[in-house]
Amino acid sequence: MTMLEAPELRDDVVVTPPSGVLRLLGGCDLSHRAHRERYGDLPAAGRAEEVIAELERSGLAGRGGAAFPTWRKLASAAESGQPGVVIANGSEGEPLSSKDAFLLRHAPHLVIDGLLFVAATLGAAEAHLVTTAPQLPTVQRAVSERQDAGAVRLRETEDRFISGEASAVVNAIERNRAIPRDHVVRLTVSGLRRRPTLVLNVETLAHIAMIVRFGSGWFRSEGTRNDPGTRLLTVVGPAGPVVVEAAGGTSLRDALQAGGVDPSTVRALLVGGYHGAWVPGNALDTPLSPEGLARFGAAPGAGILMVLRRGECGLARTADITRYLASQSAGQCGPCANGLPNLSELMSRIAGRNHDRSLPQRVREVTGLVTGRGACHHPDGTARMVVSALDVFENDVHAHALGLCQETAS
C-alpha cells in the first residue's frame, strides 16, 4: 500500500506538542490543512520493531473496552510477515457510549492518521474504517479531503450492541453480517479472508497518531505510571451524555463533575458500560484506572460512566439493562441465547419485589453457566454486570424480597 505525499507545510510553522489533558479533543472540526498545522504532518511509516517498542514505552492500551496492550497487538500482527489488514473500529455498539462517534465527527483526521500510519508500518494490504451511518458522511468528507487516504475503505455496520466486537467487525466486512465468529485462532493470525487482521478502536488510533508525532514520553506526561495518557469518557447523567477527556487515574468524582454531574446526587455508577460493573456512590474517590477499579470487579472499559441517581432503584435499572442485553444476543450460541433471557427474567422478578429468596442464588448459578461459553464475551460481560448489581445493591435485594425498596422508600 502506498501513501501519497501531502504538500509540504511551510518551514516556519512550529508545532508544539499539546499540553494539558485536552489532547484528542483539543482541536475540533479542523480541516486537514488546519489539522496538519496544529499537529504537524503525519510522520512517514516507521520500522515495525521501532514503532512497537515506542508504543510499549508509552503504555498505551486499547480504548475499545478490552484494554489490551496496543504494542502487543501490533507485534502479533507483525509476526506473520504477510501483508495483512488493519481495521479502525468505530462501531461503538454500546448505546451509552458517544466518545467514538464524537471523535469521528469532530476529529476524524487523528483517527485516519493513526490508521494510515499503522497500515503503512505493518505493510498492510488493506485499511478499513468501520462505523455506523451517522458518522459516515463526516468520515467520508475527511477521507476525500486528504491526498493520502485513497486506500482507506469505509464500511457501514449495524448499530447493534455486539457489532463492535472485533470478529463481528471482520464479519461485517467479509459477510455483511456483524455477528461474532468462533475464535479458533487470533484475528492477528487469521481474520478478514484469512489474512492477519488488526482491529483497533478509533480512539486508540487517535492516540497512536499523537504518540508517533510527540513520543511516548509526551504521552506519559499525563496520567499515572500504570494508567498513562488520557482517555475519552462518556458521562451519562440525567441531562444526557457528555464526552470528556480525562487523564489516567482521575477520580470518578472529578470525571463526573467534568461531565456536569453533581457527585452528591449519585447513588451508584455503572462504570465501563453495560458490560461493566457497579460502583457504589460512597466510592467516588476511586481512580478511574484498571487498578483503582479492580476491587469492584470493574475497569474503565469503553469509558462509560452511567449515573444512577439517589431515589432510583438500582435493581430495576439492572433488570432493564439485562433485558436489553438479552435482546441483543446474536442468538448463535445456546448458552447465551437461552441463558441471558433466563437472567433477564430472574432479574425482573427480583426488581419486581418477588418474595422468592432463592432468586439471587439462581441468578448466580446462571451467570456461572453462561460465562465463557459463547463465541464472544457478551454473556460474560452481562454476567459480570448482573453479579456486581447483586453485590452493590445487596441491601435492596433483601428489601425487595420483603416487598420493600429502600431507595424509593416504598
Partner 1 sequence: MTPQADTRTMLHIDWTRCDGRGSCMELLPEVLRPDPWGYPLAREGGSDVPIPAHLEPAAADAVGLCPVLALALRSS
Partner 2 sequence: MSEALWAFGRGTGVVALVLMTITVVLGILTRSGRPAFGLPRFAVTLVHRNSALIGTVFIVLHVVSLLFDPYAQLNVLDFFVPFIGAYHPVWLGLGTVAMDLLIAIVVTSLLRRWIGQRTFRIVHWASYALWPIALFHSIGTGTDAGAPLFILLAIVCSAAVVGSVAWRLTTGFQQRGRATPDRRIDPSRIPVDTNVKEIR
Judged by the rule CB under 8 A, the positions of this chain that interact with partner 2 are: 20-22, 25, 28, 95-96, 98, 101-102, 236, 240-247, 250, 254-255, 257-260, 320, 323-324, 326-331, 334, 337-338, 340-341
The least distance separating partner 1 from the CB of residue 51, rounded to whole angstroms, comes to 30
287 Cβ contact list (under 8 Å, min separation 6): 224, 227, 249, 250, 251, 252, 293
Q: How far is Cα 111 from Cα 29, in angstroms, rounded to an integer?
A: 13
Q: How far is Cα 9 from Cα 86, in angstroms, rounded to an integer?
A: 28
Q: C-alpha cell of 215? A: 513520543
The least distance separating partner 2 from the CB of residue 216, rounded to whole angstroms, comes to 21
The one of partner 1, partner 2, none whose footprint includes residue 98, by CB under 5 to 8 A per kind, is partner 2
CB-CB contact of 272 with 302 (8 Å): yes
Cβ proximity to partner 2: between 54 and 222 the closer is: 222
Q: How far is Cα 14 from Cα 210, in angstroms, rounded to an integer?
A: 16
Q: How far is Cα 305 from Cα 319, in angstroms, rounded to an integer?
A: 18
- Does 181 sit near partner 1 (CB under 8 A)? yes
Size of the site for partner 1 (CB under 8 A): 18
- Does 334 sit near partner 1 (CB under 8 A)? yes
The one of partner 2, partner 1, none whose footprint includes residue 120, by CB under 5 to 8 A per kind, is none
The least distance separating partner 1 from the CB of residue 155, rounded to whole angstroms, comes to 22
Contact segment (CB under 8 A) with partner 1 among 8-16, 68-76, 218-226, 328-336 equals 328-336
Burial of 379 (0-12, 13-18, 19+ CB in 10 A): buried
Q: C-alpha cell of 163? A: 457489532
The one of partner 1, partner 2, none whose footprint includes residue 372, by CB under 5 to 8 A per kind, is partner 1
> What is the DSSP secondary-structure string of 290-310?
HHHHHTTT---TTTEEEEEET
- Does 69 sit near partner 1 (CB under 8 A)? no
User: Around Cβ 173, how many Cβ atoms within 10 Å?
Assistant: 20
The least distance separating partner 1 from the CB of residue 106, rounded to whole angstroms, comes to 37
Residues that bind partner 1 (CB under 8 A): 180-182, 184, 332-336, 338-339, 368-369, 371-375
